[in-house]
A and B are shown apart, each in its own frame.
Chain A
Amino acid sequence: MSNYDKYEAVIGLEVHAQLLTQSKLFCGDSAAFGAAPNTHISEITLAYPGTLPKLNKEAATLAIRLGLACNCRIERKNYFARKNYFYPDLPKGYQVSQHTTPICVGGHVGIQTATGERNIILNRIHIEEDAGKSIHDADENYTCVDYNRAGVPLVEIVTEPDMHNADEAYAYITELRKLVRYLDVCDGNMEEGSLRCDANVSIRLKGEKNLGIKVEVKNLNSIRNVKKAIEYEIKRMIDIVESGGTIIQQTRSFDAATDTTFAMRDKEEANDYRYFADPDLPPFIITEAEINSIRNAMPALPNALKEKYKTQYGLTEYDASVITDDKETITYYEAIIKECNHYKAAANWLLGPVKSYCNDKGITAAAFPLSAKALASLIQLVEDGQCSFSVASSRLLQAMLETGKTDALAVATTLNLLQNSDGDAIAAWVDEVINNMPDKVAEYRKGKKGLIGLFMGEVKKISKGKADPKMTTQLLTEKLNEKN
């Protein structure tokens, strides 16, 4: 057993996700990202004397939506507390947060890693407001502050210390990002900071029940960095212990250039945030009816859909998981199968020709130019045996994309791409093939039955794909056997 194998890592993640509301958590200022600095700043955002907060209920709705998707218990009576501290990007001198009473309690997020499926247990999801952005390198002598972000609603999603390696953390954050995007709760953009992750990491000997000294790693602005930082941190901590050192409680930052972490500050500074219920915000009550209406407005979740696709539609694990990987593909797939019930064929089309077209053009499924209805008509044509898949996926699809025509049958007819199921015509092609290949026919008749594929291919070639394959097989078999 190597030294590293003696240890078990314990990881908890705190994820801040900016909610996709139009306006800020407590005022009407735009919550949009990317505007010129200090343009979304009313008196309320800037904490001018006399201003007061008013809750944007949409933020609560989005938090509840996420909470329901994660199987959390939804708190009915909610409070906001003030977290008091001084910093230039914090206009009021306190952050309004649900730190003491989260809107969503418990719950879990299902993940899949090489070792199988499991649920990562959540501690809570709570609502809070974001701070502004301090920019330290814009001016030589001053720190500049952009208050556009101040007051933008966030949810903080906190797991229990429930993950044990970087792969689990990677899978968790991947799944969580997929979920917030799917639910339209957050755009999930880690580079722009609308999804931010801090990792709490500790190690202990396997079998040990107590948690070790933890280190908090910040500045993880991609899923890859979450994984790299945790991998590095676990190794660093084990190396310290193995060399007889002691781990100290620290806040560390990740350096993506070197895939290492470095200490920001030793120990948690003894901050006393003096939390107390915000007297400007009365408790807000969430009713059963509100929760139900949020639940009813929610789309089926990717995991539930994946299960349904596998068990009810007979899709493979792989197909089901690729389709449910993003919302746009799900939406498109659902739209196709509303038009025709060839579930497997629809999946093949989506993951085959449609996907490769989208990849070529660098677009998402939502931007695929053919409507679900048009694609469904194409699938139906193939499933009815009126057109072969290869002809349909190459020539017919191409033609529809080029002309913008949506009726597959009409296009196929115009281009003479319909399969021939006329027995005489096929019989003629079959005869032609048999006559052209006497040697092969003889071999077949001696027992090399695998040659049927070759004959099929020849018929397909000379018929330009129009010969119905079933009928061709039947006629070929009959004729080859009859002259025996």
Chain B
Amino acid sequence: MFSFHSIQQYHKELINSTTTCVAAVDFFLARIETSKHLNAYTEVYAAAAKERALALDAAFTNTGQLSGPLHGVVIALKDVICYKDHTVTAASKILKGFTATYNATAVERLLKAGAIIIGNCNCDEFAMGSSNENSCYGKTLNALDNDRVPGGSSGGSAVAVQAGLCMASLGSDTGGSVRQPADFCGIIGFKPTYGRISRYGLIAYGSSFDQIGIFGTQIKDIALILEVIAGQDDYDATVATEPVPAYSTLTASNKPLKIGFFEEALNHPGLDPVIHKGITAYFTDLKAMGHTVEPVNFGLLDYIVPAYYVLTTAEASSNLSRYDGVKYGYRDNTPGVELTDFYKNTRSAGFGREVKKRILLGTFVLSAGYFDAYFTQAQKVRNLLFEKTKLIFKDFDILILPTVPSTAFKFGEKTDDPIAMYLADIYTVYANLTGIPAISLPLFRHDNGMPYGLQAMANHFSELSLLQLSQQLLKQ
């Protein structure tokens, strides 16, 4: 009977011939079948995954060698990442039935490293949402409590790992869309530095915020996947040129670190008192490991959610203009309509409510007469945050915060209160506004039985120290 613990363990078993890639794929396919009610996947590539597993097994039999660092690793993709000849729709009616004609750079690298893509995961439409309730495929359920949301927007990718429906998965994180569902599902969710992983082939939401993130159950697995997919890319002008360290071999470290936290964030009235208590109590554990934990005077907390929503919706309103029914995707076929009506009909019917709301918001903040009051102001906030962040990381190695102010909420609980939904992003959007790497670690369990995480952040391109600390904390 197949069981998955870590990629390293799996590879050992493959080398010892105690398991095969086919066995792994069969195992996950069976689990996916019995977990259909979770609605984690929008599409499962059963036949293709098995075929690839067979080929990988044959290659191993012939050469006695694993074909790459991710040989046979079964990975799921969020429905915003292009995989050639496979459907990609951003969980939107406007792209229903659309087939990717090329591989995202991250996917290209996964495949080259020997990974098996098993399917496409549900998410909030165009990655906009925190509950996975805004999907044209319907909601994804939290496997721990089916009445609760898995988080979003990468809810399907989180549940696919949470419920053991793949070894690891890719999501995208524009304002917490990897870390928040990881927190709600009790797994690891990692967002690297902006530009660490090429965005080519990632359907854009907020271009200067979007970053592919990784879900897993082991830090080493995440480090290995990051190592494979990160780095320079000719197709993305914003990708970083910094060299990619061998993250997977360097995760063990017990180096004492200077850890800071935003006191005002912990004292925020929106924070669940149990989470507050859990996180502050954990400071003692951190100190016991030899780290220092000190408050950081931040002072900008109230500005980050508004700045985030002004800037991301502005970018989104422009990024989503290409979905106009002319070149691909859903189109209104009412005969004889004028061009403007064709656009209106297509986009009104093709986009869901949340997406339309954000397009309208973004259009508004970019409009003549409002631009300076909103967009320019928000950019100023973003610049202040950059400067502040530079100063913080002069004094500290790591910043810690809760990932989310509450545990996974119930379906429908926040749909009528969008402001509350947006405010819940208060701890995650900071890392996207400044581009720093951040991770959510499943360290705690709430009185209500649901998990919650500790969020750790590091300076730009300091993924390694973040992964090293994470490894240490998860081992305790």
Contact = CB atoms under 8 A, between A and B. Distances in A.
Contact of A93 (B236, B321, B371, B375): B321
A66 B305 CA distance: 45
A94 B317 CA distance: 11
Contact of A47 (B100, B322, B343): B322
Contact of A43 (B101, B320, B367, B368): B101
Contacts of A464: none
B350 interface: no
A274 B339 contact: no
Interface string B361-379: 0010011100100010000
A46 B327 contact: yes
A91 to B, nearest CB: 6
B327 A274 contact: no
B261 interface: no
A124 interface: no
B237 A53 contact: yes
A52 interface: yes
Interface stretch (B40-48, B159-167, B200-208, B396-404): B200-208
A276 interface: yes
Interface string B208-246: 100000000000000000000000001111100000000
Contacts of A91: 322, 327
A282 B236 CA distance: 10
Most buried by A among B203, B317, B321: B321
Given A55-B237, A92-B322, A50 B201 contact: yes
Contacts of A55: 237
B326 A145 contact: yes
A449 B49 CA distance: 107
Contact of A282 (B90, B199, B238): B238
Chain A interface size range: 20 to 34
Contacts of B82: 49-50
Contacts of A82: 318
B95 interface: yes
A279 interface: yes
Given A54-B237, A88-B339, A272-B368, A49 B318 contact: no
19 contacts: A43-B102, A48-B101, A49-B88, A49-B100, A50-B82, A52-B200, A52-B238, A84-B366, A88-B326, A93-B320, A93-B322, A93-B324, A272-B367, A274-B318, A274-B367, A276-B318, A276-B371, A279-B208, A280-B237
Interface in A308-365: none
B29 to A, nearest CB: 27
B104 interface: yes
Contacts of A52: 199-200, 235-238
A94 B315 CA distance: 12
Contacts of A232: none
B314 interface: yes
Interface residues of B, number: 44
B402 to A, nearest CB: 29
B298 interface: no
A398 interface: no
Interface string A17-53: 0000000000000000000000000010011111111
A279 B104 CA distance: 19
Contacts of A46: 327-328
Interface string B71-83: 0000000001110
B237 A279 contact: no
A48 B318 CA distance: 14
B233 to A, nearest CB: 9
A53 B235 CA distance: 7
A54 B327 contact: no
A391 interface: no
Interface string A81-110: 010101010011110000000000000000
A305 interface: no
Given A49-B100, A93-B321, A274-B318, 19 more contacts: A43-B101, A49-B90, A49-B95, A50-B204, A51-B201, A52-B237, A54-B234, A86-B324, A88-B324, A91-B322, A91-B327, A274-B317, A274-B363, A276-B366, A279-B208, A279-B315, A280-B238, A281-B237, A282-B237
B98 interface: yes
A47 B367 CA distance: 24
Given A49-B95, A93-B322, A276 B375 contact: yes
B207 A280 contact: yes
A129 to B, nearest CB: 14
Contact of B321 (A53, A84, A276): A84
Given A88-B339, A274-B363, A279-B208, A48 B238 contact: no
Given A91-B327, A274-B366, A279-B207, A54 B236 contact: yes
A50 B203 contact: yes
Interface string B345-385: 00000000000000000010011100100010000000000
A117 B318 CA distance: 47
Interface in A254-298: 272, 274, 276, 279-282
A84 B363 CA distance: 10
A50 B366 CA distance: 23
Contacts of B204: 49-50, 280
B318 A93 contact: yes
B121 to A, nearest CB: 16
A255 to B, nearest CB: 24
Contacts of A84: 317-318, 321, 366
Q: Which are the 6 A-B pairs with shortest beta-carbon distances?
A: A93-B321, A279-B208, A274-B366, A279-B207, A47-B322, A50-B201
